[in-house]
Structure 1
Amino acid sequence: MSEPMSKYGAMAQRHWRTRLAGRYAAIEDPASFFAELGQEVSDRIAALELDLRGPERPEAEFLSRVGANNMARLRAEEIVLQEMVLLPAENSADGEDSDEMPPEWRIPTAQETAAAVIASEERAAH
């Protein structure tokens, strides 16, 4: 019995089914393929997140450390998803997929995450 599919595997399967139909059709066992791909994506995100975090700064405020860790996680997701999951559509003439991603796939920018952390710290201070 294969492992359950992660959110990344499910995301890849939906994306590939609709935007990479030829590649998707060539997969013999989509459930196993996307379960394995989802695990690979999770592993790569975790490894990249550690690299992006940099050294721990114990003197930093708790929420600042949480914000920096969250930003590293989101940036790692953004990079790995573009490389392994959200590939350009097959029917794209120049290799660029001009369609927007569905809203549920949107990853906040580092600036949006930083603004949320700052707002949270300000609320906690009052």
Structure 2
Amino acid sequence: MTRLSKLFRSHALLSLAFAVLTSAHAETAVIVHAGNNTPMDEDAIAKIFLRQVKTFPDGSVAAPVNQREGATSDDFRTKILKKNTSQFKSYWAQQLFTGGAKPVQELDSDDAVLKFVAETPNAIGYIDASKVKGGVKVVAKK
């Protein structure tokens, strides 16, 4: 192996390691409409997303939105809902089978969730924390 190919290989491995480390440390932000002043803890957030309650702690109706499968939704389920993907799917299968709660609406991306929450006064969603912009308020970050 030439010195140049060894250098290239080392650079590629370092780049890959950096990508894995930075993605592992990405934060997920739970966001609400900027006008929502209801304080919430992780337990209240989890209950809203699992449809165990349909309101914010102040009694106003909550409109939660999930993201389709991906790193952000995996992060949210693990850190906030305390469920892995398998447990989450099993939970919703059981809910549907028993006639319990219906799954939360899903949107395609951070941008779609951000737009929905910014435009919907009773919305709550989650996005990659680095993508938070105006029109929303962060109520939890992990």
For Structure 1 versus Structure 2, the TM-score category normalised by the shorter chain is under 0.3
Q: TM-score, with normalisation over the residues of structure 1?
A: 0.27
Q: TM-score, with normalisation over the residues of structure 2?
A: 0.25
Between structure 1 and structure 2, the one with the greater Rg is 2
Which fold has the larger relative contact order, with Cα–Cα distance below 8 Å and residues 6 or more apart in sequence?
Answer: 2
Q: Which has the higher strand share?
A: 2
